[in-house]
Structure 1
């Protein structure tokens, strides 16, 4: 439904003045293809079918109302879906001879139009008079798969308003007076009154950049399956349930007396892939009505403007009125109850188990395994940037860095599931996933870091680096920052100086003061390392390893100068020690400039350790070092972790790397993090706001209490730094401007 591009001016643009001969010339000059071209029906754009080299392609010439950012978003989304769910039947983009996915053509009226060429999928557009019995459930499955595939996708151009989005139907009220049947006008105005709060009601529901038009006219059918979803032209950021309602409305227009039976079959198929939340089910009926109303309103306005295209513009009207007549007399409560019965959900939120906390303390101990928050959250599910709890609430996750590409990212989940169904075994057997992951990690490192060892956790990786450093240097002293955190093994717990008082620090560990001031330069760093080494030598030790968390997370999230970090590294090496960059919290693009935070400082560590985010929560970690260090270690010792680097963990980590690369999450972390810091600085100009990318700290008195208030407003953060006085903000890297806006709004409400 590519008419209705969000802005009225865009909807009134004439189609491009481009004919088949022009399209054929473009294919020859830009794509090197000699093609037979024929025009396809389209309302705002100009589309052509091209037969070339035994292939069938579509040449899409965009309306001038579609800007370059919008086209870029469509291309990026199609590429993203092809990676996340390769089996989803969507068209593939054909690059030109220069490798570009988008080119331009000059129309007969002198205007320039953007052009893409895509593959033609098999199958035919659905015959609306004879939909097969399997179709409704299959439609639900394919719609849910596409929604799931797009949940990790974001793009700035997605944040646009489309008149076809059912959430905004109340804004179409002026068109009600264009309805040709004057008897319909007053009831339509009353129905629009009912939708006044619909946009607000969907704001707390799962949302992302979605297709926007998964309808019957954009599906291709073969004999026994749906074999194509086409036309990404209405992509925008919307509620997941609004996307569902668009598809369901399209189906119900053709259902006749089988409306409720088809709705059940569609929703059964959908929930095989994506279970719905009760709050989403509550609004399905209202959104179906809203989409139907939008269809008749927009058609009533546009048909008189384009009388030559009236049949096409009014093709949805009869079916939409049928839905409005059948469902419109049901009140919102009764309509919601019917959909709850179909979906097997309840209007009453589920209740957390009141005995769970007592049972946990009895089985797991109290202080041994503490929980977040005074009123602990009983979590049941994560999706994208959201965490869902047993009481039916949804929280924006601004804290958990482990799901670096979002909770339950579909590509990661599918990769784990596929590999787990085939083989999971220890790494002493040859397996391609293990080798490929090691190769990709090594390739991402500076020259010289050429050897990868897999582990199950960042603690284990840091522990191994410590063992290697002791063997290679023949020494047993370590230097770390004050308030550092490097793990939970006996060795790394000794390095985690934020977990115990200075009086309890073992003699083989010395500390340097973390860089809390802009004046902390390379000279200061060198002096602090020399002082720490002197303390080690006084205690009968000498420097084997200096370990640094690249974001100084536990010290309060600090942004040191480059020369400070270089001073740490160079002074440690000059003293005969080795240098470790702990990227467990800082790595995988969180800093927003490079994949690894230490690269921002121009460092060349002897060890790099990776952990928590590597498998998006699946237990996998790594140590990358130099071959001569590894060889020296294996001459006197050995290391083997039974399931460190098993095939399932490795395929999870490979998929995380793919998603980060394909979705541009490093750059997005930088852009979104800068926006977040900028908006926080404007909101609280008197408070220190620190960080880089999507690792942000806000220092304020009563940080723990403020974190509790943020939780009450639907946002989860942590605390860190001296006395826990810094809010720790490190969300999944899939955050967009929408999550920033929601976070800042909650922050402002929590301030009172």
Structure 2
């Protein structure tokens, strides 16, 4: 089944019916929200409540255990003071419900959840100050550290060996590389993959393990004002890419996505690293791997987005959001080289840590 056929495409009337039938709510406002391969709706009910209805694609809907774990993790983080969404129970007390729906490709089963709606503005819509970037690093490290305490009988399901978005899956890009035939950037992607295999893959045993959120990007973090010129993180969204990985993976992913819309992308790494290390200082092997892992995530994003567009041409604008500027950043990082980029990042991070620039509002 293609991605297009597995992605849900519910009409407003179908959403109204599901919300009423499963949760006993009368929807007064329904508004679509962007999504990569699922379908999300903002739903306001007539009694004043605000929610997000999330309908998983039919392929991922079959993996009940992983979805249950993600839902559990969101609740676990929320209970420990992190601004994660939580799932609301159906009328029968379930946090997830597998529903048979016809979206134009015959009846298929889609996992449905109603999540709390979190206030705030996505980082993508705000020019990221060093203070915001510091908070991003800090919350990313805090999240992974808190998840170390999580227990669940099926926690081993996060060992998603062939999950293409795990940073350890950079070698899997080989099977998609043909989508870049004729593009000069393909040479850089191949170079990054070769260096990853030679330099980072052998060091995996030196990295500290954890469960990764896996998608700390500028559309998955919400901000609210915190005083006249500062912001605090008011929401962490989309736990669909969770998997077992390493702390350094999460940091690399956060840096890469914070670079996307930033007018000075090379300067992003320093404050994010400083925020991260205020919670979880890096060891030597992790520091040494960071540059290549950030490039690896750019390559994943670029190649997998191109592949997705072939399957979902009607969703091209959203799918290529990151890739558009990502190509430029990847080329620039590659051109500058590891030594120069690391010097910029770690020098800047050290200055932050000495408190010369910033005071964190999350303390």
The bucket for the TM-score relative to the shorter chain is 0.7 to 0.9
Sort the Cα spacing of 1:65 and 1:173 in 2 relative to 1 into closer, same or farther, 3 A: same
Q: Where does the alignment leave 5 or more consecutive residues of structure 2 unmatched?
A: 226-230, 351-363
Sort the Cα spacing of 1:239 and 1:10 in 2 relative to 1 into closer, same or farther, 3 A: farther
Q: 2:35 aligns with which of 25, 31, 42?
A: 42
Q: Aligned residue for 2:185?
A: 184
Q: Aligned residue for 1:152?
A: 149
Is 2:115 aligned against 1:121? Answer: no
Q: 1:252 aligns with which of 259, 263, 266?
A: 259
Q: 2:237 aligns with which of 220, 226, 230?
A: 230
CA distance in 2 between partners of 1:43 and 1:299 (Å): 10
Q: Please state how far the C-alpha of 1:300 moved relative to its aligned partner.
A: 2.2
CA distance in 2 between partners of 1:210 and 1:187 (Å): 26
Is 2:73 aligned against 1:77? Answer: yes
Do 1:47 and 1:59's aligned partners in 2 also have CA atoms closer than 8 Å?
yes
Do 1:24 and 1:34's aligned partners in 2 also have CA atoms closer than 8 Å?
yes
**Matched residue of 1:134: which SS?**
helix
Sort the Cα spacing of 1:326 and 1:92 in 2 relative to 1 into closer, same or farther, 3 A: same
CA distance in 2 between partners of 1:343 and 1:129 (Å): 22
Sort the Cα spacing of 1:28 and 1:129 in 2 relative to 1 into closer, same or farther, 3 A: closer
Q: 1:22 aligns with which of 11, 14, 20?
A: 14
CA distance in 1 between partners of 2:292 and 2:11 (Å): 42
Q: 1:326 aligns with which of 323, 332, 350?
A: 332
Q: Please state how far the C-alpha of 1:251 moved relative to its aligned partner.
A: 0.7
Give deviations 1:455-503, integer Å, cap 9, x for gaps. Answer: xxxxxxxxxxxxxxxxxxxxxxxxxxxxxxxxxxxxxxxxxxxxxxxxx
CA distance in 1 between partners of 2:339 and 2:23 (Å): 56
Q: Which has the higher helix share?
A: 2
CA distance in 1 between partners of 2:224 and 2:126 (Å): 15
Sort the Cα spacing of 1:143 and 1:11 in 2 relative to 1 into closer, same or farther, 3 A: farther
Sort the Cα spacing of 1:162 and 1:11 in 2 relative to 1 into closer, same or farther, 3 A: farther
Q: Where does the alignment leave 5 or more consecutive residues of structure 1 unmatched?
A: 1-8, 345-752
Q: Aligned residue for 2:171?
A: 170
Do 1:210 and 1:236's aligned partners in 2 also have CA atoms closer than 8 Å?
yes
Q: 1:202 aligns with which of 204, 211, 232?
A: 204
CA distance in 2 between partners of 1:54 and 1:275 (Å): 44
Is 2:296 aligned against 1:284? Answer: no
Give deviations 1:160-188, integer Å, cap 9, x for gaps. Answer: 13222222212202433322653223333
Q: Aligned residue for 1:102?
A: 96
Do 1:168 and 1:199's aligned partners in 2 also have CA atoms closer than 8 Å?
no
CA distance in 2 between partners of 1:296 and 1:243 (Å): 18
The structure whose Rg is larger is 1
CA distance in 2 between partners of 1:121 and 1:216 (Å): 15
**Matched residue of 1:117: which SS?**
strand
CA distance in 1 between partners of 2:92 and 2:210 (Å): 32
CA distance in 2 between partners of 1:100 and 1:185 (Å): 46
TM-score of the superposition, structure 1-length normalised? 0.42
Number of residue pairs aligned between Structure 1 and Structure 2: 335
**Matched residue of 1:273: which SS?**
coil
Give deviations 1:197-243, integer Å, cap 9, x for gaps. Answer: 43342233112222111111101122222211111111111111101
Do 1:13 and 1:44's aligned partners in 2 also have CA atoms closer than 8 Å?
no
Do 2:251 and 2:273's aligned partners in 1 also have CA atoms closer than 8 Å?
no
**Matched residue of 2:192: which SS?**
helix
Sort the Cα spacing of 1:239 and 1:120 in 2 relative to 1 into closer, same or farther, 3 A: same
